[in-house]
Structures are given as C-alpha cells and as structure tokens.
A and B are shown apart, each in its own frame.
Chain A
C-alpha cells in the first residue's frame, strides 16, 4: 500500500505540476516515509510550487503547512496562519467542541465472564509460519493491546480469533467455551464483536444501504424473521435506533454506505458489532483514517464496553492510542509476542520500541 502511494506521488511530481492537491497523502506511509515525503514538499515549496494538503492529522498540519483552513460539515469554519494557531484551538475547530480528556478507570471486576483465552495458537500458511503465540488470557473488563509494526501477524491473529482463518494448532476459548472449530457466524453468536482494519472490504457492503449492512450480522436473527421472511419494519426500527444512538449522519436509511463519510461508516460497524452486549470485542485499528471527533467517539465506546465487563483485544499501530486505552500491552513481531507487560506510568518506551523492531532489550544490553 505504502509503495503504491509513493508511486502515485512520484508520478505527480514527475509531471512538474504547478499546484499539487494531496488528499490524505500520508495515510499509508510510515513515520520515516512521511518525514521524507515532507522534505520533498518543502523543496517544492522553495521552488515556488503551491501545495494543498488535506489531512486530519494535527501534528502534520503544524509540521508542514503555512496556512490552514478548517472545514466542518461542508462549511468553512476558520482560516488562519499556522503559526498563529495552537493544536488545541485547531482540534476544537475541527470537532466543534472541546475534546474530552479520556480517563481510564481501574479494572472493574473479573466476574463478568471467564474471558477470551488463546492457548498456544499457531498458524502456518504455505509452509510459512505466520503466528506462534504463547497462551494469553484477556480478562473480563480488560483491554489488551497488541502493538507492533503493521504486517507482523496482527491481521492473522484477529482472523484466527474470528475463525476467518483456521489456526494450525492451539485452542481459542470464550467464556469457557472452546470455539476453535466453530464457524465465524457461531463465534459471533457466542458474543464476539469484530471491527476490521479494512472497513470497506471486510466490514461493509458499500453498495448496500444502512439497514442491509446492519443485516450482515443479524439476517439470521430470529427476532427479524416472521414466517421465514425478513420483516422490513423491524429491521428498519433496529437500524433507526442504531443511527440515533451512535449519531450516524446520513440523509436516510436507504443511502448506500458508499456515500457516508469514513467516520459514519465506522460508527455503523460499531453499532452493529456492539449490539447485543458482546462478551469480547476484537478491534483491529478501529480509529485508522478517522478524524479526531470520530476517533474519540470510538475510543470512548471501547472504554464503555470495558466498564461493562467486555474483554477487548485492541490492535493499533498508534502508540498514543495504545498507551491511552490498554491495561496490558503485548508487543508482536513476526507473529510472536516479544513480551506482555502491564501499561503503567513507568513503562519503558524505548524498550517497547526495540521489541517492536524484533530485539529483546536484554540482548541489546549484552551486545553493548
């Protein structure tokens, strides 16, 4: 993905454009790639080119821009010189109110259910080892975060838990029930909510409307079926409730998902996956590509679920989010856990960084 993005950008630069318009150009780039890319943009600016960059990442705005304008719901909220505006003001303009500071309460209780348990799960595909994990138990009311560089087995891990891929060995239990050999649908009915990292491909049918996308999980639900036929009115009521509860902005329920913003698409997935009080939630990059208002909403929803005793597995590439939400952190590298430790104030971030790069801190000390 990052590679494709860079080719696109280079293609544009190669044509020697006067005005460059970039819509979320860094979404797929890593930190280093972004820095390098910004260097190129600065050179372009020095050469007298104009660049319009559309982004929701505030640090990038402060880093690269000269002037900034904020759009909200299609209206121009403010235009200012970047040097004359603070990050805080900018975020207020973007979401139209002050950010709530997210606070984590201590774990309520472990009594809700027996939790999500992975026992020696491994996955081999085409002769390559994708996952080889030690046992891990996510307690009721706990958020365990899997941190790591993208593509180190995160997708494989969530898909094995959901049953989309079949593990080569090991068992997966939810609340004491062994679900290693159950189908995806049965696992979901046992009480797993799944938020995928690729909502357009994995989570939604973009050409279907809101009610039909809610049905993706509930179309076999007895509540909605009368004499073998799906009762449209009941489904409509259910969707309407979700739209109100999660404040999804849409012209009506018959609008194809394609025409909703990313944040509203994600809210619909949350509404669907969190319906019926799941025992566990597997959230893979739930805030990727969302603006700060929607990001905050998603994070608060996860914390609310945690308070209700849900076990949550969160996978995130955003270190800030990891530190903000998780009770424990597992660092993943090449399909293995480099370490699992509680998220405390005296967490050694540089150790974590080393683990994410595949080196155990002890080894480093020895080599020094």
Chain B
C-alpha cells in the first residue's frame, strides 16, 4: 500500500491541480478545451516555443541549484534574486572595463566575476548567520532590495548608455556575449553552462568530503562540532557557492539574452528558485526537472493568453496551489501513506 500510496498521492495532487485550473478557466469565461489545447501548443507547438521553455529554465536551474546547495547546509537563501542582479552588474562592469579581451578569455572572466559578486552578496548574510546567529532569511531578503537598487542607480549613472534616454546600459562588446545555439531562436549557451554546473554541484555535494561536511552541518551542526567539522566554515562556503550560482544566472541572462544591463532583467527568477529547490527536493536532478516544469507552465500560459485570453496570472496561481499541495501532501493523503 505504501509503495502505491506515494504514487497515488502525487496523482491526487495532479488531479486536484487540474480541477482548480479548469475552475479558474471557467471563471474567466473561456472554453476549457480550447484553453488546454492552446496551453499545450504554447509549449510544444514549435521549435521556438520549446526553445523559450529552455530559455526560461536556464536561470531557474542555476538559481534553484544555488538555493538547493544552501539549503543542504541549513542556509535558507531567499536572496537569489539579489545575487542574480549582482552577477548581472559584474558581467556588465567587467565587459566594459576589459572590452579588448578576446571571447575565450572574456567569457570565463565574466563567469568568475559573476560568481564572486553573487557569492559575496550571499556570503555576507552567511557570515552574519555563522558568526552572530542573525537569521539569513531576513538578511538575504533585504539584500535583494539593495542589489536591485544598485542596478537602478548604475543604469541611470555610470553604466547608462549615453545615446539612449532609457535607464539601461549600452550593448555589451561581442566578446562578452554568449553564442546563440540556433540562429532563429533566443536559446543561448547559458543552458549548457547551467547543465555543466548541475553535474559539478552533484559531484561536489554527494561525492566529495566537502559536500559531505555541508550535508552533515545542515542535518546536525552540534554533532559536526563534536567531530571537528567546522560549522562556521561550511556555512560560509555553502553560502558562497549558493550565491555564486545565482550570480552566474545573472551573467547568463545579461550576456546570453539581453546583451545589456537594464532594470527588471529577472521577472522574479530568484524567488521562483526557492520553489524550484523545494519541488526538486534540493537535489540537482530534481532541480532541473522542477525548473523545466515551471518554465513550461509559464511559457504555456503565455500561449493560452494569446489564443484564448486567459490571463497568464493563472500560472502563478497554479504554481502556488501545487506548492501548497506538495507541502501538505503527507497530511492530506495520510491514509494512503501509512502502512495499514
């Protein structure tokens, strides 16, 4: 019973979610059948739509991976959004500062810069937590506002494109942009970078002594202290990596997609990252699946809005419902999951 129970409980969540979506579509007065067809074709209808899913999934994978790494050592990172913006600042500054470098040097440089900027933005709350016990939930969240504010200042002052009246930077030099994977679509090499990091992080967390220490610190810091594993060091390290990954997401968004720094480069990827990590159970592979799913949901709902006029906000509502149901799964489906 327990084996099937797990499966059945997820099936139950799917059915409930579907029922709520149908209800929402009916409420806005659209044809359910047509809405679903347009939702599916919005995802799989063309090469372009599939590539759009992957474009949206790229920053979600990187930020979600970051949040998951932090969570493994007990560092609850709510600040992936701000760290992403710091990464975006890093890539823009480095690209304009070292504009003569060839791409082969430039790309690794901006990646490293993004990692360091995002990492520092996260290691400060990490230090405050490890040293003084200040809740990282509050500090990382506050750091988001600071980072977004800094971007707002920069695109209006030092980084502003003089030839434009809008608050945005000039286009990056070509050497600092990531190649596009196919000429007609927006999908860029950032996806490959994200997947490389998925493998690296999996190796790091599950196969190295350092990853072992991180996981142990997340589960029982006191036992780690008694065995000579430094809780302090591990929180610093994991918060650094956590923020660094979000910083790389920012680099990929700027040098792969927008090719310039502007306000609002992220429609809340850093916050959705928390859901990605949660649904992916803080495991790299789970994070990829969750990121793809959420990206598909968003892209599909865009198609639905275009054709049937159902607002895209519905996708956010559904996402919220799914998260609630998954968190409450063990209570809602208690009968299925217990042994009798």
Query: Which residues of A are interface residues toward B (Cβ below 8 A)?
Result: 162-164, 183-188, 194, 196, 201-208, 212, 215-217, 219-220, 225, 228-230
Contacts and interface: CB of A to CB of B under 8 A. Distances in A.
22 contacts: A162-B226, A164-B225, A184-B225, A184-B227, A184-B228, A185-B229, A201-B220, A202-B222, A202-B223, A205-B216, A206-B219, A206-B220, A208-B216, A212-B212, A212-B216, A216-B216, A216-B223, A216-B229, A217-B227, A220-B209, A225-B209, A228-B208
A205 B220 contact: yes
A219 B213 contact: yes
Interface in B218-236: 219-220, 222-229
Assign chain B's interface to a size class: 10 to 19
Interface of B: 203, 207-209, 212-213, 215-216, 219-220, 222-229
A328 B171 CA distance: 80
Contacts, number: 63
Contact of B226 (A186, A202, A207, A230): A202
A196 B224 CA distance: 13
A187 B228 CA distance: 9
Nearest to A220: B209
Given A216-B229, A230-B208, 5 more contacts: A184-B228, A203-B223, A205-B220, A212-B216, A219-B213
Given A162-B226, A164-B226, A229 B220 contact: no
A202 B221 CA distance: 9
Contacts of A215: 212
Nearest to A187: B228
A237 to B, nearest CB: 17
A229 B212 CA distance: 10
B209 A219 contact: yes
A202 B226 CA distance: 6
A185 B228 contact: yes
CB-based closest 7 A-B pairs? A185-B228, A184-B228, A229-B207, A205-B220, A202-B226, A219-B209, A219-B212
A228 B204 CA distance: 10
A162 B227 CA distance: 9
B303 to A, nearest CB: 42
B218 to A, nearest CB: 9
A208 B213 CA distance: 12
Contact of B223 (A185, A188, A201): A201
Nearest to A272: B227
B110 to A, nearest CB: 27
Contacts of A208: 215-216, 219
Nearest to B226: A202
Contacts of B213: 219
